[in-house]
Amino acid sequence: MHPFFLLLRNDWRLLKRGRSLTIVSLLALLAGVYALFYGKTFVERQQATITELQQNERARLDSLLIWAKLDPTVAANREKWEKATSPYDVNVPEGYRTTMHEPSALTPLSLGMRDLFPYYHDVMGRAIYRQLFQQEIANPQKLAVGHFDWAFVVIFLLPLLLIALSYNLLSVEKEQGTYALLRSQPITLRQIVLAKLVLRLGLLMGFLVLMTGLAIGLLGIDVGEDGALTARFFVVSAMYSLFWAGVVFAVVSFQKTSAFNALMLLGCWLVLVLALPTLLHQVLTVRQPIDRSTFENLVRDEYGQEQPDSVVLKPYYARYPDRYFPRDTIKRTPDLRVYYARNDQLDQILTPLVGQYEAAVAAREATVSDWSWVLPAVTAQELFNGLAGTSAAAHRAYIGQVRDFHRLWNGFFVPKYFKNQRLTAADYAQFPVWQFRSAAPDVAVGPGLLKLLLLTVILFGLGWWKLK
């Protein structure tokens, strides 16, 4: 047997006899299983809310459809029929649609921004930004703590488990007095360290495979439909683990004591996982501040301004000349043309400002991307959130779909109101239907994996040079 594989087998026997492997394995398994159940429970609560909203919407529209089929000549039916055939009543207070940001199959693995951003919006005839800037009441302390999901286990805990098993790869031989005997064998120092590190990295990869299988079974992931996303999620986890194996290899290559290695590795973990991301966040908060409350206040201020009807309607008719009908030829009760014009005016005013806000967000994300070469934890988290559909970019894609649906929804009802047309029962089948399109399948993991790979190569190169 080749000395490399002989060393690998003997090191496995020694590792198996010790308590550290058993303790670390149990802790990792408990943390992983809890993370899967946590993510599953969180998503199930949101999915229950989505189901309830869908049932509520279906009940409202079904009731309106029944009312639209009533005989309006019967006095008892008149009020219901008028409400069900009024383009305004169906468009705004009664028949509005609820647009949902549906969770993906991988959302329980990396919850990301799922609790920070709203995952549903009611779409009606009001200004779209009045609807998008509404926020639910949430506990800020809970939002600051974050989630104990599988991505958290991979990014924060697995490096610690690898450090606990690997900090004394070479130093233990010196401290136990077996170093001279080991060096007398026909095997290089590099092979000794690599053999021991490969064993521990193999155990970590086996754990990732085990947890991926548990996730598929527990979360009900359809391998045929979401197998590619799941495989990419696993590859990111494996590459991130390989990076930390490079960190261990580089530190051990200096051939210091076990205590020195442990302190150095823990210091690397603190800096790379906690200190640098926190420092970057503080720097961006000062140098590239983003204040969403400015737009929320502006929405209220602009909508509350009193302007003459003619001032509001004139530019509106200039944008939509097909909706102009003289007041003296077509009467409406109530007359809500100014209401629609004011909402459209608010959207016209806020659109460029929201564009500036989104550009500022994109600039901040670009800065984070530039620094991600030295922030492997941030890179891995972004990749996990992207594959799970819980990133900030995924939320912006969802908001873009909501805007498009708002235009489609209003485009169906508002012209009918301005033409003073009533809805018919047949029109209900033509109502625009919300269909969410997930951005997760289009997420490119190549650039992020390349960053992790280059950092890993540099670390292994340093260790290889030091162990010459």
Q: Rounded to whole angstroms, what are the CA distances from 438 to 42, 103, 223, 236, 368? A: 19, 9, 17, 20, 24
pLDDT exceeds cutoff 50 at 331: yes
**Token pair of 16, please?**
């198996």
What is the residue type of 47? Answer: Q
Average pLDDT, rounded, for the chain: 87
In this structure, the chain runs to a length of 468
Q: Which residues pair with 464 in a beta bridge?
A: none
pLDDT of residue 365: 87
pLDDT of residue 139: 47
d(CA 346, CA 349): 5
pLDDT exceeds cutoff 90 at 156: yes
d(CA 393, CA 386): 8
Give the pLDDT band (50/70/90) at residue 190. confident
pLDDT exceeds cutoff 70 at 103: yes
pLDDT of residue 218: 95
pLDDT of residue 109: 96
pLDDT of residue 171: 87
Give the pLDDT band (50/70/90) at residue 398. very high
Cβ contacts of 214-221, under 8 Å, gap ≥ 24: 214/32, 214/33, 214/36, 215/36, 215/108, 215/109, 215/150, 218/36, 218/37, 218/40, 219/36, 219/39, 219/40, 219/105, 219/108, 219/109, 220/105, 221/105, 221/106
The answer to whether 388 and 110 have CB atoms below 8 angstroms apart is yes
pLDDT exceeds cutoff 50 at 328: no
Q: Rounded to whole angstroms, what are the CA distances from 122 to 119, 128, 398? A: 11, 10, 13
Show me where the domains of the chain are located. Answer: 1-278+376-468
Give the pLDDT band (50/70/90) at residue 192. confident
What is the residue type of 270? Answer: L
At 230-289, the pLDDT tens digits run 999 999 999 999 999 999 999 999 999 999 999 999 999 999 999 999 999 888 888 888
58-72, 140-154, 266-280, 423-437: the lowest-pLDDT one: 140-154
